[in-house]
Amino acid sequence: MNIVWALVVTVLVTAVTVTAMLLVRRRAPAGSYFRDGDRASGVFGVLATGFSVLLGFIIFLSFTSYDDSRAGAETEATIVAQQVQTAQYLPDKTAAALTGELICYARSVAGTEWVAMDNGTLGNSVNPWGVQMFLTMSAVDPSTPTEQSAYDRWMDQTAQREQARIDRVHGAEGIIPTPLWLVLSVISVVIFVYLLFFADRAEGAVTQGVLMGSVTVVITLLLFLLVFFDHPHGEGVGRLEPIAMTRTISLIDTQLKIVGLEVAPPCDEHGNRR
């Protein structure tokens, strides 16, 4: 979610809860609805502590998944660049085909595939250029020790690249299950309702507003943080973008120019087959 919209929603939610508190305060008895304020505060402490521990644990796990996606994207990009070098030790025809397919793979990751992750439509689909490279390699029959070594190295790098891709797309569909969102929503509502019973007409309106507003702001921002970690790909502040793969595409172009190789990738700039 865009950070501006998150701030707008936070302000609106806070305004609603503070208004509710001030409306309830008009008819509230002096000293709040609780006769024993210490006991009520103790119960609220249990509610707030349980919610904060649960939320903190979820945020930690979500950040771990976010970091795995970031690391996976960087590792995948690095391996693609390495595979371009490995491909040059295979037979000339195969090397040219694999180099073009690797460029298309990189363009596809930074283009159509990243858009699909942002939209949450990637699902279990595979990268078509990964399949094409498999078909190209399945027809290779290495005849020299150098080609055999390059063939083995390619297979190892392919396995590493596929694992890195799995790490990258892991959070694309959302990592927080629906029941957990329901639990967090219900607990948030319970805390809000419980706070209304602290309405006290003997207290100033500002004090009562700060009481409700501060809790609302903290809970709302933490929930938005979860929303951010649940869908980390796309455009926006802090979101994962295909920077590493874009850099790899430029690096491949530079390497090919240095060694004097001319490759015509069978795809457009977004990785779509021509």
Picking from 21, 15, 10, the residue whose alpha carbon sits closest to that of residue 208 is 21
- For residue 153, is pLDDT > 90? yes
- For residue 134, is pLDDT > 90? yes
| Helix segments in the chain, DSSP class H | 3-27, 37-87, 92-108, 114-119, 128-138, 145-169, 178-196, 205-230, 243-259
Residue 263 lies in a domain: yes
Q: What secondary structure letter does DSSP report for 121? A: -
- For residue 202, is pLDDT > 80? yes
Residue 255 lies in a domain: yes
Least confident span in 48-52, 64-68, 161-165, 232-236: 232-236
pTM summary value: 0.79
Residue 19 lies in a domain: no
- For residue 172, is pLDDT > 70? no
Question: Could you tell me the pLDDT band of residue 274, with boundaries at 50, 70 and 90?
Answer: confident
Residue 109 lies in a domain: yes
Residue 259 lies in a domain: yes
DSSP characters for 42-54? HHHHHHHHHHHHH
Share of the chain above pLDDT 90, in %: 40
Assess contact for 215 and 154: CB atoms under 8 A: no
The pLDDT, as a whole number, for residue 123 is: 65
pLDDT tens, residue by residue, 260-269: 888 889 998 8
The pLDDT, as a whole number, for residue 30 is: 82
Residue 39 lies in a domain: no
Dihedral sign (CA 176, 195, 221, 62) = negative
Residue 82 lies in a domain: yes
The pLDDT, as a whole number, for residue 126 is: 84
Q: Read off the pLDDT of each residue in 207-214 and give the average, rounded to a whole number.
A: 90
Residue 117 lies in a domain: yes
Number of structural domains, the chain? 1
Higher pLDDT among residues 217 and 233, named by residue? 217
Domain interval for residue 152: 69-172+241-274
Q: How far out from the chain centre does Cα 96 lie?
A: 35
What residues have CB less than 8 Å from 90, skipping those under 6 apart? 98, 140, 142, 147, 150, 151, 154
Q: Read off the pLDDT of each residue in 95-107 and give the average, rounded to a whole number.
A: 93
- For residue 1, is pLDDT > 60? no
The pLDDT, as a whole number, for residue 230 is: 80
The pLDDT, as a whole number, for residue 145 is: 92
Mean pLDDT across the chain: 87
